[in-house]
Chains A and B, each alone.
Chain A
Amino acid sequence: MQTKRVINPGERIPRVPEAVFLFRSCTGSLEYPGTESAVKETLKFLGVEAVTDPDQTCCSGFLQACSAYKPEFCLAVTARNLAIAEKKGLDTYTFCNGCYTGLSEFSHTLLSHQDQRAAANELIGRWGYRYEGRTAVYHVQEMWYRLKERIAEGVVRPLKGLRVAAHYGCHYLSAQYGILDDAGYPTFHEELFEALGATPVFYKERQLCCGYSVGRGFTHKEAIVQPHLHKKIKSAAVAGVQLMTTVCPGCNVALDREQPNLNRLYGEEFHIPVIDLAQLIALALGVPASKLGFAANTTSLDHVLKKLNCDKGS
Protein backbone atom coordinates (compact mmCIF):
# COMPACT_ATOMS: atom_id res chain seq x y z
CA MET A 1 0.00 0.00 0.00
CA GLN A 2 1.12 3.52 -0.80
CA THR A 3 2.34 5.21 2.42
CA LYS A 4 2.88 8.70 1.03
CA ARG A 5 -0.10 11.02 1.04
CA VAL A 6 0.36 13.33 -1.93
CA ILE A 7 2.48 12.14 -4.83
CA ASN A 8 3.37 13.96 -8.03
CA PRO A 9 1.59 13.04 -11.27
CA GLY A 10 4.75 11.55 -12.79
CA GLU A 11 4.97 9.15 -9.90
CA ARG A 12 1.26 8.32 -10.05
CA ILE A 13 1.30 7.67 -13.82
CA PRO A 14 4.97 7.01 -14.66
CA ARG A 15 4.32 6.16 -18.32
CA VAL A 16 1.30 7.46 -20.18
CA PRO A 17 -0.44 4.34 -21.52
CA GLU A 18 -1.40 3.91 -25.19
CA ALA A 19 -4.74 2.41 -24.16
CA VAL A 20 -6.82 2.23 -20.99
CA PHE A 21 -9.86 0.29 -19.87
CA LEU A 22 -12.53 3.01 -19.59
CA PHE A 23 -14.95 2.07 -16.82
CA ARG A 24 -18.47 3.18 -17.78
CA SER A 25 -20.35 5.13 -15.10
CA CYS A 26 -24.14 4.71 -14.84
CA THR A 27 -24.85 8.34 -13.97
CA GLY A 28 -22.20 9.68 -16.35
CA SER A 29 -23.73 7.72 -19.22
CA LEU A 30 -27.43 8.14 -18.38
CA GLU A 31 -28.00 11.42 -16.48
CA TYR A 32 -25.18 13.29 -18.24
CA PRO A 33 -24.14 11.37 -21.37
CA GLY A 34 -22.02 14.41 -22.30
CA THR A 35 -19.58 13.34 -19.61
CA GLU A 36 -18.93 10.01 -21.33
CA SER A 37 -18.59 11.78 -24.66
CA ALA A 38 -16.22 14.48 -23.32
CA VAL A 39 -14.00 11.91 -21.60
CA LYS A 40 -13.72 9.91 -24.83
CA GLU A 41 -13.01 13.05 -26.90
CA THR A 42 -10.32 14.26 -24.49
CA LEU A 43 -8.63 10.86 -24.36
CA LYS A 44 -8.68 10.80 -28.16
CA PHE A 45 -6.98 14.20 -28.26
CA LEU A 46 -4.32 12.90 -25.86
CA GLY A 47 -3.69 9.86 -28.06
CA VAL A 48 -4.95 7.38 -25.48
CA GLU A 49 -7.25 4.66 -26.78
CA ALA A 50 -10.37 4.16 -24.61
CA VAL A 51 -11.27 0.46 -24.52
CA THR A 52 -14.73 -0.38 -23.18
CA ASP A 53 -16.42 -3.72 -22.69
CA PRO A 54 -20.17 -4.48 -22.77
CA ASP A 55 -19.58 -7.21 -20.18
CA GLN A 56 -18.82 -4.57 -17.55
CA THR A 57 -21.65 -3.88 -15.08
CA CYS A 58 -22.39 -1.10 -12.58
CA CYS A 59 -19.74 -0.83 -9.83
CA SER A 60 -22.58 -1.07 -7.27
CA GLY A 61 -20.79 1.22 -4.83
CA PHE A 62 -23.56 3.77 -4.47
CA LEU A 63 -26.29 1.42 -3.32
CA GLN A 64 -23.77 -0.23 -1.04
CA ALA A 65 -23.13 3.16 0.57
CA CYS A 66 -26.91 3.42 1.04
CA SER A 67 -26.81 0.10 2.95
CA ALA A 68 -28.88 -1.62 0.24
CA TYR A 69 -26.09 -4.13 -0.51
CA LYS A 70 -23.67 -5.81 1.83
CA PRO A 71 -19.99 -5.75 0.84
CA GLU A 72 -19.93 -9.43 -0.26
CA PHE A 73 -21.91 -8.61 -3.41
CA CYS A 74 -19.79 -5.56 -4.28
CA LEU A 75 -16.55 -7.43 -3.67
CA ALA A 76 -17.63 -10.07 -6.19
CA VAL A 77 -18.85 -7.45 -8.69
CA THR A 78 -15.58 -5.52 -8.36
CA ALA A 79 -13.52 -8.69 -8.81
CA ARG A 80 -15.53 -9.55 -11.92
CA ASN A 81 -15.30 -6.10 -13.52
CA LEU A 82 -11.59 -5.74 -12.78
CA ALA A 83 -10.90 -9.27 -14.05
CA ILE A 84 -12.24 -8.06 -17.42
CA ALA A 85 -9.69 -5.20 -17.43
CA GLU A 86 -6.91 -7.54 -16.32
CA LYS A 87 -7.58 -9.90 -19.17
CA LYS A 88 -6.99 -7.02 -21.57
CA GLY A 89 -3.73 -6.15 -19.78
CA LEU A 90 -4.94 -2.57 -19.19
CA ASP A 91 -5.23 -0.23 -16.23
CA THR A 92 -8.74 0.89 -15.28
CA TYR A 93 -9.80 4.55 -15.61
CA THR A 94 -13.10 5.71 -14.12
CA PHE A 95 -14.88 8.99 -14.73
CA CYS A 96 -16.91 9.03 -11.55
CA ASN A 97 -15.57 9.53 -8.03
CA GLY A 98 -18.03 6.92 -6.81
CA CYS A 99 -16.76 4.25 -9.22
CA TYR A 100 -13.22 5.28 -8.31
CA THR A 101 -13.66 4.82 -4.59
CA GLY A 102 -15.77 1.69 -5.01
CA LEU A 103 -13.21 -0.03 -7.21
CA SER A 104 -10.15 1.12 -5.30
CA GLU A 105 -11.52 0.41 -1.80
CA PHE A 106 -12.96 -2.97 -2.74
CA SER A 107 -9.87 -4.00 -4.67
CA HIS A 108 -7.78 -2.97 -1.67
CA THR A 109 -9.95 -5.18 0.56
CA LEU A 110 -9.71 -8.05 -1.93
CA LEU A 111 -5.94 -7.77 -2.14
CA SER A 112 -5.28 -7.37 1.57
CA HIS A 113 -7.65 -10.11 2.77
CA GLN A 114 -6.91 -13.42 1.17
CA ASP A 115 -10.15 -15.01 2.41
CA GLN A 116 -12.28 -12.26 0.83
CA ARG A 117 -10.40 -12.61 -2.46
CA ALA A 118 -10.82 -16.38 -2.45
CA ALA A 119 -14.55 -16.01 -1.77
CA ALA A 120 -15.01 -13.49 -4.60
CA ASN A 121 -12.93 -15.53 -7.03
CA GLU A 122 -14.92 -18.61 -6.23
CA LEU A 123 -18.15 -16.77 -7.04
CA ILE A 124 -16.90 -15.42 -10.38
CA GLY A 125 -14.81 -18.48 -11.25
CA ARG A 126 -17.89 -20.32 -12.57
CA TRP A 127 -17.78 -18.07 -15.66
CA GLY A 128 -14.00 -18.28 -16.02
CA TYR A 129 -13.07 -14.95 -14.40
CA ARG A 130 -10.20 -14.57 -11.97
CA TYR A 131 -9.07 -11.39 -10.21
CA GLU A 132 -5.41 -11.11 -9.23
CA GLY A 133 -4.90 -7.38 -8.77
CA ARG A 134 -2.93 -6.63 -11.95
CA THR A 135 -5.04 -3.67 -13.08
CA ALA A 136 -4.47 -0.38 -11.24
CA VAL A 137 -7.47 1.87 -10.64
CA TYR A 138 -7.31 5.54 -11.68
CA HIS A 139 -9.69 8.43 -12.19
CA VAL A 140 -9.44 10.26 -15.54
CA GLN A 141 -8.83 13.57 -13.71
CA GLU A 142 -5.38 12.13 -12.87
CA MET A 143 -4.66 11.74 -16.57
CA TRP A 144 -5.80 15.32 -17.25
CA TYR A 145 -3.42 16.65 -14.60
CA ARG A 146 -0.58 14.38 -15.71
CA LEU A 147 -0.88 15.77 -19.25
CA LYS A 148 -1.74 19.34 -18.27
CA GLU A 149 0.95 20.84 -20.54
CA ARG A 150 -0.20 18.85 -23.54
CA ILE A 151 -3.78 19.99 -22.89
CA ALA A 152 -2.63 23.63 -22.53
CA GLU A 153 -0.87 23.39 -25.91
CA GLY A 154 -4.03 22.04 -27.52
CA VAL A 155 -6.32 24.85 -26.38
CA VAL A 156 -7.94 26.45 -29.44
CA ARG A 157 -10.79 28.12 -27.58
CA PRO A 158 -9.21 29.84 -24.55
CA LEU A 159 -11.77 30.32 -21.78
CA LYS A 160 -10.70 33.94 -21.29
CA GLY A 161 -12.59 35.82 -18.62
CA LEU A 162 -14.69 32.82 -17.57
CA ARG A 163 -14.89 32.60 -13.77
CA VAL A 164 -14.81 28.87 -13.03
CA ALA A 165 -15.06 27.18 -9.64
CA ALA A 166 -14.11 23.63 -8.73
CA HIS A 167 -16.12 21.08 -6.84
CA TYR A 168 -13.71 18.23 -6.10
CA GLY A 169 -16.23 15.85 -4.58
CA CYS A 170 -15.31 13.53 -1.77
CA HIS A 171 -14.49 10.15 -3.08
CA TYR A 172 -11.28 10.70 -4.96
CA LEU A 173 -9.60 12.75 -2.21
CA SER A 174 -10.96 10.44 0.49
CA ALA A 175 -8.39 7.85 -0.60
CA GLN A 176 -5.93 9.95 1.45
CA TYR A 177 -2.84 8.06 0.25
CA GLY A 178 -1.07 7.98 -3.09
CA ILE A 179 -3.28 10.66 -4.67
CA LEU A 180 -2.49 13.88 -6.51
CA ASP A 181 -3.47 16.43 -3.91
CA ASP A 182 -4.21 17.10 -0.27
CA ALA A 183 -7.83 16.52 0.76
CA GLY A 184 -7.51 19.50 3.11
CA TYR A 185 -6.86 22.07 0.40
CA PRO A 186 -6.56 20.71 -3.13
CA THR A 187 -5.68 23.05 -6.02
CA PHE A 188 -5.02 20.81 -9.03
CA HIS A 189 -8.36 21.54 -10.71
CA GLU A 190 -7.68 25.29 -10.46
CA GLU A 191 -4.29 24.69 -12.10
CA LEU A 192 -6.12 22.98 -14.95
CA PHE A 193 -8.55 25.93 -15.28
CA GLU A 194 -5.55 28.25 -15.67
CA ALA A 195 -4.10 25.94 -18.32
CA LEU A 196 -7.38 26.38 -20.24
CA GLY A 197 -7.23 30.16 -19.94
CA ALA A 198 -10.07 30.45 -17.41
CA THR A 199 -10.04 32.36 -14.11
CA PRO A 200 -10.25 30.04 -11.10
CA VAL A 201 -12.51 31.25 -8.28
CA PHE A 202 -11.89 30.10 -4.72
CA TYR A 203 -15.23 30.29 -2.91
CA LYS A 204 -15.73 29.88 0.81
CA GLU A 205 -17.54 26.52 0.85
CA ARG A 206 -15.41 24.94 -1.87
CA GLN A 207 -14.66 21.90 0.30
CA LEU A 208 -18.29 21.19 1.14
CA CYS A 209 -19.57 17.92 -0.28
CA CYS A 210 -22.56 17.68 -2.66
CA GLY A 211 -24.79 16.12 -0.03
CA TYR A 212 -26.01 13.36 -2.34
CA SER A 213 -23.38 10.74 -1.58
CA VAL A 214 -25.82 8.94 0.66
CA GLY A 215 -29.54 9.30 0.40
CA ARG A 216 -29.40 11.13 -2.90
CA GLY A 217 -32.01 13.48 -1.57
CA PHE A 218 -34.41 10.59 -0.96
CA THR A 219 -33.81 10.73 2.78
CA HIS A 220 -33.17 13.81 4.94
CA LYS A 221 -33.75 16.12 1.99
CA GLU A 222 -35.40 19.03 3.84
CA ALA A 223 -33.57 18.56 7.14
CA ILE A 224 -30.01 18.26 5.90
CA VAL A 225 -29.39 18.06 2.17
CA GLN A 226 -31.03 21.29 1.01
CA PRO A 227 -29.74 23.60 3.81
CA HIS A 228 -26.30 22.11 3.16
CA LEU A 229 -26.49 22.73 -0.60
CA HIS A 230 -27.87 26.22 -0.05
CA LYS A 231 -24.80 27.10 2.00
CA LYS A 232 -22.52 25.82 -0.75
CA ILE A 233 -24.19 27.37 -3.80
CA LYS A 234 -24.75 30.65 -1.94
CA SER A 235 -21.04 31.02 -1.26
CA ALA A 236 -20.27 30.28 -4.93
CA ALA A 237 -22.82 32.88 -6.04
CA VAL A 238 -21.37 35.49 -3.65
CA ALA A 239 -17.90 34.83 -5.08
CA GLY A 240 -19.20 35.52 -8.60
CA VAL A 241 -18.83 32.01 -10.00
CA GLN A 242 -20.07 31.68 -13.61
CA LEU A 243 -19.54 27.95 -14.06
CA MET A 244 -18.77 25.07 -11.74
CA THR A 245 -17.06 21.78 -12.61
CA THR A 246 -17.29 18.35 -11.03
CA VAL A 247 -15.46 15.06 -11.53
CA CYS A 248 -18.35 12.96 -10.37
CA PRO A 249 -21.67 12.78 -12.25
CA GLY A 250 -23.40 12.12 -8.92
CA CYS A 251 -22.21 15.46 -7.53
CA ASN A 252 -23.28 17.02 -10.80
CA VAL A 253 -26.85 15.82 -10.25
CA ALA A 254 -26.99 17.38 -6.77
CA LEU A 255 -25.40 20.72 -7.68
CA ASP A 256 -27.22 21.15 -11.00
CA ARG A 257 -30.69 19.67 -10.47
CA GLU A 258 -31.25 21.08 -6.97
CA GLN A 259 -30.75 24.74 -7.93
CA PRO A 260 -34.40 25.39 -8.94
CA ASN A 261 -35.51 23.83 -5.62
CA LEU A 262 -33.10 26.01 -3.65
CA ASN A 263 -34.36 29.09 -5.47
CA ARG A 264 -37.95 28.23 -4.59
CA LEU A 265 -37.22 27.30 -0.96
CA TYR A 266 -34.86 30.12 -0.08
CA GLY A 267 -36.01 32.85 -2.46
CA GLU A 268 -32.68 32.89 -4.26
CA GLU A 269 -31.85 33.47 -7.89
CA PHE A 270 -29.03 30.99 -8.33
CA HIS A 271 -28.02 30.19 -11.87
CA ILE A 272 -24.62 28.51 -11.86
CA PRO A 273 -24.32 25.82 -14.54
CA VAL A 274 -22.47 22.70 -13.40
CA ILE A 275 -20.57 20.53 -15.89
CA ASP A 276 -17.91 17.85 -15.80
CA LEU A 277 -14.25 18.89 -15.82
CA ALA A 278 -13.80 16.82 -19.01
CA GLN A 279 -16.59 18.81 -20.68
CA LEU A 280 -14.76 22.05 -19.86
CA ILE A 281 -11.47 20.68 -21.18
CA ALA A 282 -13.14 19.38 -24.35
CA LEU A 283 -14.74 22.79 -24.95
CA ALA A 284 -11.37 24.51 -24.70
CA LEU A 285 -9.83 21.88 -27.00
CA GLY A 286 -12.38 22.87 -29.64
CA VAL A 287 -14.75 19.92 -29.44
CA PRO A 288 -18.10 21.24 -30.74
CA ALA A 289 -20.63 21.98 -28.00
CA SER A 290 -23.14 19.85 -29.94
CA LYS A 291 -21.09 16.75 -29.01
CA LEU A 292 -20.98 17.55 -25.29
CA GLY A 293 -24.60 16.90 -24.31
CA PHE A 294 -25.37 20.11 -22.43
CA ALA A 295 -29.07 19.51 -23.18
CA ALA A 296 -29.02 17.18 -20.16
CA ASN A 297 -28.34 20.05 -17.74
CA THR A 298 -31.15 21.53 -15.65
CA THR A 299 -29.30 24.81 -15.08
CA SER A 300 -28.68 25.83 -18.65
CA LEU A 301 -25.29 27.10 -19.77
CA ASP A 302 -26.46 28.80 -22.95
CA HIS A 303 -25.18 32.18 -21.75
CA VAL A 304 -21.74 30.70 -21.05
CA LEU A 305 -21.60 29.11 -24.52
CA LYS A 306 -22.67 32.42 -26.04
CA LYS A 307 -19.87 34.18 -24.20
CA LEU A 308 -17.42 31.64 -25.66
CA ASN A 309 -18.96 32.04 -29.15
CA CYS A 310 -19.89 28.38 -29.40
CA ASP A 311 -23.63 28.69 -28.96
CA LYS A 312 -24.45 27.64 -32.53
CA GLY A 313 -23.38 24.09 -31.80
CA SER A 314 -19.88 24.70 -33.15
Chain B
Amino acid sequence: MHRERDKDRDDNLRRKVDVYHLAENLEDCLQCGKCVGACPVASLSPSYNSRQIVSDVLNGQQERWLKSEEIWRCFLCSGCYAACPVDINFPNLMMQLRYMAVEHKYGLKYVIPFKRFALAALQDGLTFVPAGPKGRDRIRKIRTDIGLSPWPEVSEKAREEYRALFDLSGAGAFMETINEEDDKPVELQYTEGRVTFADKTGH
Protein backbone atom coordinates (compact mmCIF):
# COMPACT_ATOMS: atom_id res chain seq x y z
CA MET B 1 0.00 0.00 0.00
CA HIS B 2 1.44 3.38 -0.94
CA ARG B 3 0.41 7.01 -1.18
CA GLU B 4 0.70 9.23 -4.23
CA ARG B 5 3.91 11.18 -4.26
CA ASP B 6 4.51 14.77 -5.21
CA LYS B 7 6.83 13.80 -8.04
CA ASP B 8 3.94 11.91 -9.68
CA ARG B 9 2.07 15.17 -10.26
CA ASP B 10 1.47 16.39 -13.80
CA ASP B 11 0.93 20.15 -14.07
CA ASN B 12 -0.44 19.76 -17.57
CA LEU B 13 -3.09 17.20 -16.57
CA ARG B 14 -6.02 19.61 -16.85
CA ARG B 15 -5.33 20.12 -20.56
CA LYS B 16 -4.68 16.46 -21.20
CA VAL B 17 -8.11 15.62 -19.77
CA ASP B 18 -10.09 18.37 -21.49
CA VAL B 19 -9.42 17.12 -25.02
CA TYR B 20 -12.71 18.43 -26.41
CA HIS B 21 -12.57 21.83 -24.66
CA LEU B 22 -15.72 21.24 -22.65
CA ALA B 23 -14.50 22.32 -19.21
CA GLU B 24 -12.13 25.14 -20.00
CA ASN B 25 -13.02 27.20 -16.92
CA LEU B 26 -11.95 24.50 -14.46
CA GLU B 27 -9.39 26.81 -12.85
CA ASP B 28 -12.22 29.06 -11.70
CA CYS B 29 -13.24 26.40 -9.15
CA LEU B 30 -13.71 27.97 -5.71
CA GLN B 31 -13.64 24.59 -3.93
CA CYS B 32 -16.91 25.62 -2.29
CA GLY B 33 -18.40 22.11 -2.42
CA LYS B 34 -21.91 23.13 -3.52
CA CYS B 35 -21.63 20.44 -6.20
CA VAL B 36 -21.22 17.78 -3.52
CA GLY B 37 -24.29 19.03 -1.68
CA ALA B 38 -26.34 18.81 -4.90
CA CYS B 39 -25.04 15.37 -5.87
CA PRO B 40 -27.48 12.44 -5.56
CA VAL B 41 -24.63 9.93 -5.72
CA ALA B 42 -22.61 11.64 -2.97
CA SER B 43 -25.67 11.40 -0.73
CA LEU B 44 -25.56 7.60 -1.04
CA SER B 45 -21.81 7.12 -1.39
CA PRO B 46 -19.82 9.90 0.34
CA SER B 47 -16.49 8.71 -1.04
CA TYR B 48 -17.62 10.01 -4.44
CA ASN B 49 -16.74 13.67 -4.13
CA SER B 50 -16.83 15.97 -7.14
CA ARG B 51 -15.07 18.80 -5.32
CA GLN B 52 -12.12 16.55 -4.55
CA ILE B 53 -12.00 15.26 -8.11
CA VAL B 54 -11.78 18.81 -9.50
CA SER B 55 -9.06 19.59 -6.99
CA ASP B 56 -7.10 16.48 -7.98
CA VAL B 57 -7.33 17.28 -11.68
CA LEU B 58 -6.12 20.83 -11.05
CA ASN B 59 -3.31 19.54 -8.83
CA GLY B 60 -2.23 17.13 -11.53
CA GLN B 61 -2.92 14.00 -9.50
CA GLN B 62 -4.48 11.45 -11.77
CA GLU B 63 -3.69 8.07 -10.27
CA ARG B 64 -6.32 8.28 -7.54
CA TRP B 65 -9.37 8.88 -9.74
CA LEU B 66 -8.09 6.98 -12.75
CA LYS B 67 -8.00 3.80 -10.67
CA SER B 68 -11.08 4.57 -8.62
CA GLU B 69 -14.40 2.87 -8.95
CA GLU B 70 -16.19 6.06 -7.94
CA ILE B 71 -15.83 7.93 -11.21
CA TRP B 72 -18.14 5.31 -12.74
CA ARG B 73 -20.91 6.12 -10.26
CA CYS B 74 -21.73 9.59 -11.65
CA PHE B 75 -25.23 9.78 -13.21
CA LEU B 76 -24.25 12.77 -15.40
CA CYS B 77 -27.42 14.42 -14.05
CA SER B 78 -25.87 17.91 -14.04
CA GLY B 79 -27.15 18.80 -10.57
CA CYS B 80 -23.58 19.90 -9.79
CA TYR B 81 -23.47 22.10 -12.89
CA ALA B 82 -26.73 23.78 -11.88
CA ALA B 83 -25.37 24.46 -8.38
CA CYS B 84 -21.91 25.64 -9.46
CA PRO B 85 -21.42 29.39 -8.83
CA VAL B 86 -18.76 29.61 -11.56
CA ASP B 87 -20.51 27.41 -14.13
CA ILE B 88 -18.12 24.48 -14.34
CA ASN B 89 -19.68 21.78 -16.47
CA PHE B 90 -18.62 18.89 -14.25
CA PRO B 91 -20.47 16.17 -16.24
CA ASN B 92 -18.47 17.15 -19.30
CA LEU B 93 -15.29 16.83 -17.25
CA MET B 94 -16.44 13.43 -15.94
CA MET B 95 -17.13 12.21 -19.46
CA GLN B 96 -13.53 12.99 -20.40
CA LEU B 97 -12.10 11.52 -17.18
CA ARG B 98 -13.77 8.26 -18.15
CA TYR B 99 -12.29 8.34 -21.64
CA MET B 100 -8.87 8.75 -20.06
CA ALA B 101 -9.51 5.86 -17.67
CA VAL B 102 -10.59 3.67 -20.60
CA GLU B 103 -7.46 4.70 -22.46
CA HIS B 104 -5.45 3.38 -19.49
CA LYS B 105 -7.66 0.24 -19.42
CA TYR B 106 -9.33 1.01 -16.11
CA GLY B 107 -13.07 0.51 -15.66
CA LEU B 108 -13.55 -1.31 -18.98
CA LYS B 109 -16.11 -3.53 -17.26
CA TYR B 110 -18.39 -0.50 -16.97
CA VAL B 111 -18.27 0.10 -20.72
CA ILE B 112 -18.42 -3.50 -21.95
CA PRO B 113 -22.18 -3.96 -21.25
CA PHE B 114 -22.86 -1.24 -23.81
CA LYS B 115 -20.67 -2.68 -26.54
CA ARG B 116 -23.43 -5.16 -27.39
CA PHE B 117 -26.00 -2.35 -27.68
CA ALA B 118 -23.66 -0.26 -29.82
CA LEU B 119 -23.08 -3.11 -32.25
CA ALA B 120 -26.81 -3.87 -32.39
CA ALA B 121 -27.58 -0.19 -33.03
CA LEU B 122 -25.49 -0.45 -36.20
CA GLN B 123 -27.93 -3.01 -37.60
CA ASP B 124 -31.09 -1.07 -36.77
CA GLY B 125 -30.08 2.61 -36.80
CA LEU B 126 -31.91 2.62 -33.45
CA THR B 127 -30.60 1.98 -29.93
CA PHE B 128 -32.08 -0.58 -27.51
CA VAL B 129 -34.03 -2.66 -29.98
CA PRO B 130 -34.88 -5.94 -28.16
CA ALA B 131 -32.57 -8.73 -29.24
CA GLY B 132 -35.16 -11.49 -29.47
CA PRO B 133 -38.13 -11.87 -31.86
CA LYS B 134 -40.58 -11.91 -28.92
CA GLY B 135 -39.63 -8.41 -27.82
CA ARG B 136 -39.81 -7.13 -31.38
CA ASP B 137 -43.24 -8.68 -31.88
CA ARG B 138 -44.52 -7.03 -28.71
CA ILE B 139 -43.43 -3.63 -30.03
CA ARG B 140 -45.05 -4.31 -33.43
CA LYS B 141 -48.30 -5.24 -31.73
CA ILE B 142 -48.46 -2.18 -29.48
CA ARG B 143 -47.55 0.15 -32.35
CA THR B 144 -50.10 -1.40 -34.70
CA ASP B 145 -52.84 -1.33 -32.05
CA ILE B 146 -52.47 2.42 -31.55
CA GLY B 147 -52.37 3.24 -35.24
CA LEU B 148 -48.64 3.76 -35.76
CA SER B 149 -46.53 2.03 -38.40
CA PRO B 150 -45.57 -1.43 -37.08
CA TRP B 151 -41.91 -0.44 -36.83
CA PRO B 152 -40.24 3.02 -36.60
CA GLU B 153 -39.35 4.03 -40.16
CA VAL B 154 -35.59 3.86 -40.62
CA SER B 155 -34.50 3.62 -44.25
CA GLU B 156 -31.84 1.27 -45.54
CA LYS B 157 -29.93 4.38 -46.63
CA ALA B 158 -29.97 5.68 -43.03
CA ARG B 159 -28.69 2.40 -41.64
CA GLU B 160 -25.93 2.11 -44.26
CA GLU B 161 -24.71 5.65 -43.67
CA TYR B 162 -24.85 5.19 -39.89
CA ARG B 163 -22.67 2.07 -40.20
CA ALA B 164 -20.25 3.88 -42.50
CA LEU B 165 -19.93 6.82 -40.07
CA PHE B 166 -19.20 4.35 -37.29
CA ASP B 167 -16.11 3.16 -39.15
CA LEU B 168 -15.08 6.48 -40.70
CA SER B 169 -15.19 8.40 -37.40
CA GLY B 170 -13.03 5.86 -35.57
CA ALA B 171 -15.86 4.58 -33.37
CA GLY B 172 -15.31 1.05 -34.67
CA ALA B 173 -11.60 1.16 -33.89
CA PHE B 174 -12.35 2.56 -30.41
CA MET B 175 -14.78 -0.27 -29.73
CA GLU B 176 -12.12 -2.84 -30.61
CA THR B 177 -9.92 -1.46 -27.81
CA ILE B 178 -12.56 -2.31 -25.19
CA ASN B 179 -12.10 -5.94 -24.23
CA GLU B 180 -12.73 -7.81 -21.03
CA GLU B 181 -9.30 -9.45 -20.89
CA ASP B 182 -7.50 -6.06 -20.83
CA ASP B 183 -9.55 -4.71 -17.94
CA LYS B 184 -7.42 -3.54 -15.00
CA PRO B 185 -9.17 -3.75 -11.63
CA VAL B 186 -10.62 -0.69 -9.96
CA GLU B 187 -11.65 -0.62 -6.33
CA LEU B 188 -13.21 1.75 -3.88
CA GLN B 189 -10.04 3.57 -2.97
CA TYR B 190 -11.16 7.15 -2.68
CA THR B 191 -11.69 6.85 1.06
CA GLU B 192 -12.28 10.04 2.95
CA GLY B 193 -9.18 12.04 3.73
CA ARG B 194 -6.69 9.49 2.52
CA VAL B 195 -6.04 7.91 -0.82
CA THR B 196 -4.14 4.66 -0.85
CA PHE B 197 -3.33 2.05 -3.46
CA ALA B 198 -3.03 -1.66 -3.07
CA ASP B 199 0.15 -1.84 -5.15
CA LYS B 200 2.21 0.54 -7.21
CA THR B 201 2.72 -1.66 -10.23
CA GLY B 202 -0.92 -1.74 -11.31
CA HIS B 203 -0.29 0.87 -13.96
The interface of chain A, by Cβ under 8 A from chain B, is 24, 26-27, 29-31, 33-34, 36-37, 52, 54-58, 60, 62-63, 65-73, 75-77, 80, 109, 113, 123-124, 127, 170-171, 173-174, 176, 183-184, 207-209, 211, 213-215, 218-220, 223-224, 227-228, 290-293, 295-296
Contacts and interface: CB of A to CB of B under 8 A. Distances in A.
Interface in B58-93: 72-79, 81-83, 87, 91
Given A56-B158, A183-B82, A219-B110, A67 B99 contact: yes
A57 B159 contact: yes
A70 B74 contact: no
Interface of B: 20-22, 40-41, 44-45, 72-79, 81-83, 87, 91, 95, 98-99, 102, 109-111, 113-115, 117-118, 121, 125-130, 139, 142-143, 145-148, 152-155, 157-159, 161-162, 165-166, 168-171, 174-175, 178
Contact of B91 (A174, A218, A290): A174
B162 A66 contact: no
A211 B128 contact: no
A219 B113 CA distance: 8
Contacts of B98: 67
Nearest to A291: B146
Given A30-B139, A67-B95, A54 B154 contact: yes
Given A31-B128, A209-B79, A65 B95 contact: yes
A155 to B, nearest CB: 21
Nearest to A253: B128
Nearest to B140: A33
Given A68-B114, A73-B169, A223 B148 contact: no
Contacts of A109: 20, 22
A207 B99 CA distance: 28
